[in-house]
């Protein structure tokens, strides 16, 4: 099969974009697409990316296939779509997809994207390195310093110090013999950190915090030492939620969070900002966990069903009830873990997720053998 030419236009280093960009890199490595990357500084015009429109958010990507088919990826938390972009592209994939929020005239081209989380490609990713050098001036300084020291090669630790979770680190098969343990690490949002924030959004953040805090309190009471969780030690949480802090804030580092994911068989997922599906749901599915999740407000592709991939709750009290079901019923827990492994392989793995969008954009261009190899 001849690779399809794909040009991605990127305006930022938003972590919301890493899953999509990683999927494209993996398809490039597999020879399915020939990827080119165009980086655009904030406020810089580019006629090739004009479909972004004047109100484009950083968490958006434009992909141009064979110089003719325009595919737009909208990773914003809120359900609002970029109308000017949607009117100018062939397909528009929306993370927080609500059909009723899309104008009827655009519904044929706007589709659900799926679960989103931050994940990077294994190995050396030259596309990611170039994004870092372009959007972070300090990265260029670090690289030049490295070269002056005559170090050979170039890896991400030289360009962007700090832990970056890759696909190999951010997925795992079910561990059926693992004893039940419950994980819920959360963040408390500061409702007043933006003076321009509307009153209803301020209240929404307070409500998110209160639901998460009460879940922590009740889960600690019910499961004791079999529960790990609490709020990160942010200035806001230290002031307003002292009783539900993590016992040690070092647990909140990415390295420790991944370790804890591997050690716990049950994960708790609550609603994110603007009623979005939080990243934790995707991370739990990638690690083949049993899940108790607050009711999902948005649609995702594939078979992700309450009762099979997660148990649904609508209050801290029902969170504990559903978690207790998973904790005590080994058969239910293991069946759910297997369901989530299948969902990850079929719909969530970055290369599979992005290939699905490309097949929709260019039907008939991808042989069944190629599609099967990525499922």
In angstroms, the CA 174 to CA 289 distance is 7
pLDDT of residue 366: 78
Q: Return the number of other C-beta atoms located less than 10 Å from residue 10's C-beta.
A: 24
Q: Are 94 and 113 in contact (CB under 8 A)?
A: yes
Contact at 8 Å (CB) between 98 and 79? Answer: yes
Could you read off the pLDDT of 211-242 as tens digits, one per residue? 999 999 999 999 999 999 999 999 999 999 99
Furthest C-alpha separation in the chain: 59
**Which tokens belong to 306?**
């309450």
Task: Output the pTM of the full model.
Answer: 0.90
SS3 313: strand
User: In the prediction, which pLDDT does 368 show?
Assistant: 64
Query: Exposed (0-12), middle (13-18) or buried (19+): which is 241, by Cβ within 10 Å?
Result: buried
Position 1 pLDDT exceeds 90: no
Could you report the per-residue pLDDT of 291-334, keeping only the tens digit for each? 999 999 999 999 999 999 999 999 999 999 999 999 999 999 99
Note the pLDDT tens digit of each residue in 29-88. 999 999 999 999 865 444 434 333 333 458 999 999 999 999 999 999 999 999 999 999
More confident residue, 121 or 45: 121
Asked whether residue 195 carries a pLDDT value surpassing 60, the answer given is: yes
Give the model confidence (pLDDT) of 32-41 as tens digits: 999 999 999 8
Provide CB contacts within 8 A for 290, sequence distance 6+.
Answer: 265, 266, 267, 326, 332, 333, 334, 336, 337, 340
Query: How would DSSP label each residue in 106-170?
Result: GTTTEEE-------B-SS--HHHHHHHHHH-HHHHHHHHHHHHTT--S--HHHHS-S---BTTTS
Dihedral over alpha carbons 102, 24, 355, 118 (to 10 degrees): -60
* Token reading at 169: 């680190």
Q: What pLDDT, in 10s, does the model give residues 127-149?
A: 999 998 898 877 666 666 555 54
Partners of 111 in beta bridges: 93
> Tell me, what's the pLDDT at 42?
67
Q: How confident is the model at residue 177 (pLDDT cuts 50, 70, 90)?
A: confident
Q: Which residues contact 359 (CB under 8 A, 6 or more apart)?
A: 365, 366, 371
Q: Output the average pLDDT for the chain.
A: 89
């Amino acid at each position: 099969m001849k690779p399809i030419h794909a040009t991605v236009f990127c305006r930022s280093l938003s972590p919301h974009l890493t899953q999509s960009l990683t999927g494209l890199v993996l398809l490039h490595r597999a020879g399915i697409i020939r990827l080119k990357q165009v980086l655009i500084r904030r406020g810089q015009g580019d006629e090739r990316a004009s479909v972004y429109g004047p109100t484009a958010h950083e968490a958006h990507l434009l992909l141009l296939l064979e110089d003719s088919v325009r595919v737009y990826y909208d990773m914003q938390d809120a359900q609002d779509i970029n109308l000017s972009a949607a009117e100018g592209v062939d397909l528009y994939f929306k993370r927080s997809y609500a059909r009723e929020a899309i104008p009827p005239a655009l519904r044929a081209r706007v589709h659900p994207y799926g679960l989103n989380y931050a994940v990077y490609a294994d190995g050396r990713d030259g596309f990611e390195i170039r994004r870092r050098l372009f959007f972070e001036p300090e990265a260029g300084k670090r690289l030049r310093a490295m070269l002056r020291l005559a170090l050979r090669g170039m890896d991400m630790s030289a360009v962007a110090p700090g832990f970056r979770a890759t696909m190999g680190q951010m997925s795992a098969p079910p561990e059926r013999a693992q004893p039940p343990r419950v994980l819920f690490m959360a963040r408390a949002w500061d409702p007043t950190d933006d003076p321009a924030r509307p009153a209803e959004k301020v209240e929404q953040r307070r409500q998110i915090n209160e639901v998460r805090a009460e879940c922590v309190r009740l889960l600690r009471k019910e499961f004791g030492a079999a529960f790990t969780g609490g709020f990160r030690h942010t200035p806001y949480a230290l002031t307003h939620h002292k009783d539900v802090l993590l016992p040690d804030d070092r647990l909140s580092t990415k390295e420790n969070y991944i370790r804890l994911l591997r050690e716990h068989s049950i994960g708790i997922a609550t609603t994110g900002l603007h009623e979005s599906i939080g990243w934790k749901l995707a991370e739990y599915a990638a690690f083949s966990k049993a899940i108790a999740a607050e009711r999902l407000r948005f649609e995702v592709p594939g078979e992700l069903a309450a009762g099979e991939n997660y148990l649904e709750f609508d209050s801290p009290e029902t969170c504990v009830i559903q978690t207790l079901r998973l904790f005590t019923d080994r058969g239910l827990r293991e069946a759910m873990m297997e369901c989530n492994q299948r969902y990850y392989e079929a719909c969530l793995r970055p290369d599979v997720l992005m290939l699905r969008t490309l097949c929709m954009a260019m039907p008939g261009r991808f042989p069944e053998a190629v599609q099967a190899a990525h499922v």
